Amino acid sequence: MKRIKMLTTGGTIAMQSNPETGVVEPIEGHHMTSWLDHSSSIDMEDVFNKPSPHLTFADLHLLLGKVKANLDDPQIDGIVITHGTDTLEETAYYLDLHLSVGKPVVLTGAMRSSNQIGSDGPTNLVNAIRTAASPGAAGKGVLVVFQDEVHAARYVTKTHTSSLSSFKSPEFGPIGYVEKLQAVFHYKPRPQEDYPAPAEMKSVYIVKTAIDMDSAMIDFLITRGICGLVIEAFGQGNVPPTLMPGIKRAIGANIPVVLVSRCGSGRVQDTYGYEGGGHSLKELGVMFCNHLNGPKARIKLASLLAVTTDQAAIRDAFEAEASMPE
Ligand code: ASP
């Protein structure tokens, strides 16, 4: 029988809906032990009990330490982490970025609290455990399991505010699915990057583009002394011309500027030559990042900045690694 370490961190999967008010709230203790089937031997540890919007990088660093310690334990075959869904993809990617995972590490959560009709917590948890115990789950990076699907941390995102099938990998699809007894896999994501885990992440902000937007936000962030900037550009990687002066000032202040698309899938490229088009951004020195959304690109940039200020190395880390599945 496989031995799985389960680490709980809070989120809706551990919350209850108040029958009088209908408000979903954290509770003391949770009912997850009663959901376990006996297909694996589970050792459960409550790491914290927080709604996921309350999590900090310090929390993620602590969780990473727990995961590493358990991965080093020869008694443990795999790890399951329960987590709030709002920021689950960020924690999954953070772990993916800072771990060289030889054993399965699987995150899951629930869109409905444990006492709501049709709660997805029990099924997701049992599926996550089955995935962590599956022979094919090792060596595929950190995984995320929801609604019988297995997703790679790098590609998955929460796409719906309330649907049980909120978690999707818009660009490449799930990497596998969970059958009655085990998970089976369609493809393997790119090998993980394994960055040193900094105790303190550097301050990186995200600016999302919108029509007729000027540089005020970027200029404000420069005055705050930020270390890095991620821009969620239009389409293939274009911004309003009125954002260009701010981007120039950020680059002039030695702040690395990373470009992702607000589309959520597809690549950013130096296709358009007009002012604010991808070509003009590339010429300015903006770094292009593909297959990561804004929050994940922020995590990668904040991690890189904690270990290097070498802009060429940072550019390589974004542009040389295309993140496509194998
Ligand atoms: N707001 C909740 C959280 O992320 C949502 C959830 O867990 O589904 O903690």
Q: Is the pLDDT assigned to residue 191 strictly greater than 90?
A: no
What pLDDT score was predicted for residue 321? 61
Q: Ligand 1 centroid vs 112 CA: distance in angstroms?
A: 9
What pLDDT score was predicted for residue 197? 83
Task: Tell me, using a 6 A CB cutoff, whether residue 303 lines ligand 1.
Answer: no
Domains of the chain: 3-185 (3.40.50.1170), 204-319 (3.40.50.40)
What pLDDT score was predicted for residue 323? 56
| Mean pLDDT value across residues 52-61 | 97
* Band of pLDDT at residue 324, cut at 50, 70 and 90: low
| Entry pTM | 0.96
Residue from 48, 50, 55, 86 whose mutation best tests the ligand 1 pocket (most atoms within 8 A of CB): 86
Q: Ligand 1 centroid vs 85 CA: distance in angstroms?
A: 5
First-last CA distance in the chain:
31
| Mean pLDDT value across residues 80-109 | 95
Q: What is each CA distance from 141 to 58, 96, 271, in whole angstroms?
A: 22, 6, 32
Reply yes or no on whether 12 is catalytic: yes
What pLDDT score was predicted for residue 155? 94
The mean predicted confidence, pLDDT, of the chain is 94
Ligand 1 atom nearest to CA at 86? 4
- With tokens 């940072």, the residue in question is 314
| Mean pLDDT value across residues 257-282 | 96
Q: Is the pLDDT assigned to residue 117 strictly greater than 70?
A: yes
Asked whether residue 86 is marked as a ligand-binding residue, the answer is yes
- Please report, rounded to a whole number, the percentage of residues in the chain having pLDDT higher than 90: 85
For atom 3 of ligand 1, the residue with the nearest CA is 84
Identify each DSSP E strand in the chain by its residue range.
3-10, 15-17, 24-26, 41-50, 78-82, 105-108, 143-146, 149-152, 157-158, 167-168, 176-178, 183-185, 204-208, 228-233, 257-261, 287-288
| Mean pLDDT value across residues 47-54 | 97
Residue 325, SS3 per DSSP:
coil
For atom 7 of ligand 1, the residue with the nearest CA is 84
CA angle (152, 153, 158) in 5-degree steps: 100
Q: Is the pLDDT assigned to residue 325 strictly greater than 70?
A: no
Q: Is the pLDDT assigned to residue 326 strictly greater than 70?
A: no
